Amino acid sequence: MFRVNNAELSTVERRGPERKLAEGLFWGLQWHPSGEWLVLVDRNSADEPFALYFLSIATGERRRLTWPPRSIGDVDGSVSPDGRTLDVSTLGLKIIVN
């Protein structure tokens, strides 16, 4: 089970403790087909545009996937069922990255 609010993303194991994976302003959470990663929209600081990241469920590691122009940010993204294609929406534009 996952709980998301405007500051924290945590896992909660059945009868176990809550474990924080990430904090900040993020959205667009979707599972990677492997089940090991979440795809989300986030940014490192208020000076950066929003971009797509992978977030490891096991470790909390974030891997940046896109580098949109500073004046434009990513608003959504998803991974194809085979995990090989990333679909990115950037302020109304749709870009497919293979």
Domain with 46 in it? 2-97
| pTM for the model | 0.77
Q: Which long-range contacts (CB under 8 A, 24 or more apart) does 28-35 make?
A: 28/52, 28/75, 28/76, 28/77, 29/2, 29/4, 30/77, 30/78, 30/79, 32/79, 32/83, 33/79, 33/80, 33/81, 33/82, 33/83, 34/83
> Given this model, what pLDDT does residue 4 score?
42
> Given this model, what pLDDT does residue 1 score?
44
83 has pLDDT over 60: yes
Instruction: Please give the tally of structural domains in the chain.
Output: 1
Tell me the Cα Rg of the chain.
14
Q: pLDDT by residue (tens digit) across 47-78?
A: 888 899 999 988 889 999 999 887 788 888 88
